[in-house]
Structure 1
Amino acid sequence: MENKKAIKLIDKILDNLDETGINTDTLIDDIKELRTYALEEQIPLVVKVLRFTYEHIEKYNSFMIPILDDEPTGEEELIEEREEDSPVDSLKYLLSLMKNLNNKINISDLKEYRNLLMTY
């Protein structure tokens, strides 16, 4: 995202996640506010991912989507890695992707998060 206020808000959310973990009271409101910036910038993928994210957090009181892997792994390895993943780490990674939407890998990962959130 290019809006400086949006970048500051992402940084604030990341700091809050470090300090308090997934505190649904403030986190959901912050994600909804961040979504308004994505709407202003007309970035449909980010708008959708943010909506799915806060709806997911509202429903589960956590972020149950595992952090994305760089390389495909076998089924057993995937289960082991998912158990080690922290919901906070995965959510932080998702939000950090939005800071640089010029990176094709970030866009690809956002699409993968969108798909995972849709099917969870």
Structure 2
Amino acid sequence: MKNKYALSLIEKIQKELLLDKFNCDTTIEYLKKLREYSFDDQNPVLTKALRLAYEHLESNGAFLIGIPMDEPMDDSEKEFNFSETNDLESFEYF
């Protein structure tokens, strides 16, 4: 992202995660605002990723997607890494 407001918003999200001040509703609003900035930057991949992330938070009330493994997978062995609890480490990775 090139927008200075978007970069400061990303830093704000990261600081809140570091300080264990994760609030789902606030984070959703931040991601929606970031999506507007990415749309203005004409970055369709980031725009979609941000939409999917805040929709996931809205529907689950938590980030339940684990960090993917670094090992390559066969097409027949595709597994999705979902968490049972709010995975803030995974959200930070995102």
Q: CA RMSD in A?
A: 2.5
Q: What 5-or-longer segments of structure 2 have no aligned partner?
A: none
Task: Give secondary structure in 2 for the equivalent of 1:20.
Answer: coil
Structure 1 stretches of 4+ with a deviation exceeding 3 A read none
Task: Give secondary structure in 1 for the equivalent of 2:19.
Answer: helix
Distance 1:86 1:67, change over 3 A: farther
Of Structure 1 and Structure 2, which has the larger fraction of its residues in helix? 1
TM-score scaled by length of structure 1: 0.63
Contact 1:21 1:88 in 2 (8 A): no
Q: Which residue of 1 aligns with 2:11?
A: 11
Structure with the bigger RCO (C-alpha within 8 Å, sep 6+) is 1
Identity %: 39
* Aligned-pair CA distance for 1:62: 0.7
Q: What 5-or-longer segments of structure 1 have no aligned partner?
A: 95-120
TM-score scaled by length of structure 2: 0.79
* Aligned-pair CA distance for 1:19: 2.1
Equivalences, count: 89
Contact 2:62 2:86 in 1 (8 A): no
Distance 1:60 1:22, change over 3 A: farther
